[in-house]
Amino acid sequence: MEAMKETVDQSLREMRDTFASGRTRSVKWRKTQLEAIIEMVKDNEDKMCDVLFQDLGKHSIEAFRDELGFVMRSATTALNSLDKWVVPRKSNLPLLFYPATGKVISEPYGTVLVLSSWNFPISLSLDPMIGAISAGNTVLLKASELSPNASALLAKTIPSYLDNKAIKVIEGGPDVATILLQHQWDKIFFTGSPRIGKIIMAAAAEHLTPVTLELGGKCPTIIDHHSVSKDMKSVVKRISGGKWGSCSGQACISVDYILVEQSFASSLIEMFKPVIRSFFGENPKESGCVARIVTKKHFQRLSRLLNDPRVQASIVYGGSMDEEKLYVEPTILLNPPLDSEIMNEEIFGPVLPIITLRDIQESIGFIKSKPKPLAIYAFTMDEKLKTRILSETSSGSVTFNDVMIQYMCDALPFGGVGESGMGRYHGKYSFECFSHEKAIMEGSLAMDLEARYPPWNNFKLTFIRLAFREAYFKLVLLMLGLKR
Ligand SMILES: NC(=O)c1ccc[n+]([C@@H]2O[C@H](COP(=O)([O-])OP(=O)(O)OC[C@H]3O[C@@H](n4cnc5c(N)ncnc54)[C@H](O)[C@@H]3O)[C@@H](O)[C@H]2O)c1
């Protein structure tokens, strides 16, 4: 670990020197790096798909949709928008401040640390990096040790495409993260669990470093079958795609559980069965389209959740597991006990509990009784229910009539609230996430208001009261001696 400490010190020194040189502030440098990211992903498409298969058993098309294609689009958006993003924004100051002018300029924080997670190891590493570079920072990335092939590929490839005095990759697990966190950073961007998020925030507090925490949680999905009965086929397909078609449910925005009225539960289960078969065939394990569970430890966690006898009794579809292949079959549960572990921790796997309610309106209270989720999904055409969801619950995002798609839409901010995280990124929000918005006020020495200064008297107090209210007409009267 001494050698690692030395490497971290040296890397940080180089990145700080590079930032101090001003090189990363130039728009030209930022664009060159963004172009290089696009080129790197294009040139290494096959290798990236290979490592995602080795680490997670992801199908190459799933890998392209969720990671490579997503990253190239994100870098292209930044590249095409950067000239607009960097322009200082004029602020219209109240007349009170005349003749001063105001503007806001986006300033890079400096040297930022990105710690990423294993489930989308390419996109969750490169996408924050795109934001950090767009904003003109130097960046150090540590990807997750649990996706070692992706981490190794990034560590090998990034230095040969990007400015390696400004952008660095260090590989390792919690021990390396601990060393990194002992240093002072200008911003920390973390993707991972709420448990480790607390460690990150505590370490950042030591240096008052700002953090963005992209965490997880249990994302509920409401099905208001009354209002979407005509479109149930699409509803079930979308939920199935979100639950089982993206890293086998090992995704922070995956559907965690469904809330539906009791009277519709058995029909819903019957609707899922043919859809799952149409996606993954009669033997999903051999379909090549089901990602595997990342590690034995994670597999054992899932099997512990499922092996609770009360949970076992709730399995209505699937439930088979193969430890050697780290495979868990797409599985549906009906009403597992609400005090079971599976209903109280993020599932992060291909298991879908269906929880029944007497009336779908009760879903609001159910969601409110839990920590604030990263996403709420609701299939409904009922405007009143939509309004209740928006006004009575809190979550990182709400998506009506679809799942997970909000992540891909970079016109919307992506991030959590409460236990699901803090801060947001994607598109322009990524640029803002890695920028300090500096307020600039340009005053004039042409005139001076004596009312600002001591000695104090009643005239000055009246003046200040009127000024705070921006009561300009009364101020003029006061100055003309026509008002007391
Ligand atoms: N909001 C999002 O965008 C998003 C995306 C993916 C995953 N997640 C969440 O991430 C979690 C799963 O990912 P994970 O298992 O990689 O999370 P994790 O918290 O275990 O690890 C995330 C990162 O933290 C590092 N780390 C682990 N232990 C550490 C320690 N003691 N000190 C410092 N750093 C440490 C890891 O090396 C890794 O780089 C889930 O909760 C999921 O919802 C969130």
| Ligand 1 within 6 A of CB of 196 | yes
Given this model, what pLDDT does residue 447 score?
A: 85
Query: Do 342 and 335 form a contact (C-beta atoms < 8 A)?
Result: no
Residue 129: per-residue pLDDT: 98
Distance between CA atoms of 37 and 24, rounded to whole angstroms? Answer: 15
Closest CA to 141 of 119, 118, 169: 169
pLDDT, one tens digit for every residue, the chain (484 residues): 889 999 999 999 999 999 999 999 999 999 999 999 999 999 999 999 999 999 999 999 999 999 999 999 999 999 999 999 999 999 999 998 999 999 999 999 999 999 999 999 999 999 999 999 999 999 999 999 999 999 999 999 999 999 999 999 999 999 999 999 999 999 999 999 999 999 999 999 999 999 999 999 999 999 999 999 999 999 999 999 999 999 999 999 999 999 999 999 999 999 999 999 999 999 999 999 999 999 999 999 999 999 999 999 999 999 999 999 999 999 999 999 999 999 999 999 999 999 999 999 999 999 999 999 999 999 999 999 999 999 999 999 999 999 999 999 999 999 999 999 999 999 999 999 999 999 999 999 988 899 999 999 999 999 999 999 999 999 999 999 997 7
For residue 420, the ligand 1 atom closest to its alpha carbon is: 1
CA torsion, points 8, 12, 13, 14, in degrees to nearest 10?
Answer: 100
Distance 121 CA to ligand 1 centre (A): 11
Distance CA 214, CA 66 (A): 17
Tell me, in angstroms, the distance from the centre of ligand 1 to residue 77's CA.
26
DSSP letter for each residue of 70-118: HHHHHHHHHHHHHHHHTSPEEE---GGGTT-EEEEEEEE-SEEEEE--S
Token pair 């989720």 in the structure block, residue: 373
Residues acting as catalytic residues:
214, 252
Ligand 1 pocket mutation pick from 74, 188, 196 by most atoms within 8 angstroms of CB: 196
223 Cβ below 6 A of ligand 1: no
Q: Is any ligand 1 atom within 6 A of the Cβ of residue 219?
A: no
Name the residue of 117, 299, 348 to mutate for ligand 1: max ligand atoms within 8 A of Cβ.
117
d(CA 334, CA 320): 16
CA geometry: angle 368, 372, 377, nearest 5 deg: 80
Atom of ligand 1 nearest to the CA of 181: 33
Burial of 383 (0-12, 13-18, 19+ CB in 10 A): exposed
Cα(144) to ligand 1 centroid in Å equals 8
In degrees and rounded to multiples of 5, residue 421 shows phi and psi of 130, -175
> Angle at Cα 393 formed by Cα 390 and Cα 394, nearest 5°?
95
Ligand 1, atom 17, lies closest to the CA of 192
ipTM above 0.95, yes or no: yes
* E runs forming strands in 219-299: 220-223, 257-261
The reply to whether ligand 1 has any atom less than 6 angstroms from the CB of 387 is: no
CB 118 less than 6 A from any atom of ligand 1: yes
178 lines ligand 1 (CB under 6 A): yes
Ligand 1: which atom is nearest the Cα of residue 117? Answer: 16
- Ligand 1 centroid–CA 392 distance in Å is 29
Instruction: Tell the residue nearest (CA) to atom 2 of ligand 1.
Output: 214
Answer left, alpha or beta for residue 389, where phi above 0 means left and psi between -120 and 50 means alpha: alpha
The C-alpha atoms of residue 394 and residue 421 are separated, in whole angstroms, by 12
* Rounded distance from Cα 244 to ligand 1 centre (Å): 21
With a 6 A CB cut-off, is 382 part of the ligand 1 pocket?
Answer: no
Residue 164, burial from CB neighbour count under 10 angstroms (0-12, 13-18, 19+): middle
The structure tokens 């009354």 sit at 226
Residue 192 CA to ligand 1 center (angstroms) comes to 2
